[in-house]
Amino acid sequence: MSLALAPIDIPVDIEANLPCRKFDPDLWFSDSPAQLELAKSLCGDCPLRVECLAGAVERSEPWGVWGGEIFERGAVVPRKRPRGRPRKADVARDAELAVEVEERLAANGLDSRNSVRLAA
């Protein structure tokens, strides 16, 4: 059975306290980089963060915040860029953030080279 499709047996009281259930669901699928960063921060203390991330990686989620990471076009991205051409400082910062994302994935037992494609 696939991890992404495995039933999660969680008590109702825990489910009610999940950030994605307490706040507007559109926040996790926003176009605004600031709102996506807020959604990522809300995922930080979620008891199902690791399972959520693993399921999203397995399903190659096309977009949204899953398990505290931003997915865009099926890849984990360090941050969502605003519209327009990126500044040189932003490109350098994105490279540093990509390393951090890879470390977080590894810390959660997900090998990014085999499990998920990291967008540049």
Residue 43, annotated as binding a ligand: yes
Q: Is 20 a known ligand-binding residue? A: yes
Residue 52 is labelled as binding a ligand: yes
Euclidean distance between the first and the last CA atom of the chain, given in angstroms as a whole number: 32
Beta-ladder partners of 69: 66
Judge whether 99 and 63 are in contact, CB under 8 Å: no
Task: Confirm whether residue 46 is marked as ligand binding.
Answer: yes
Question: How many C-beta neighbours within 10 Å does residue 27 have?
Answer: 17
Find the length of the chain: 120
**Could you tell me which residues are annotated as the binding site?**
20, 43, 46, 52
| Residues of the binding site for [4Fe-4S] cluster | 20, 43, 46, 52
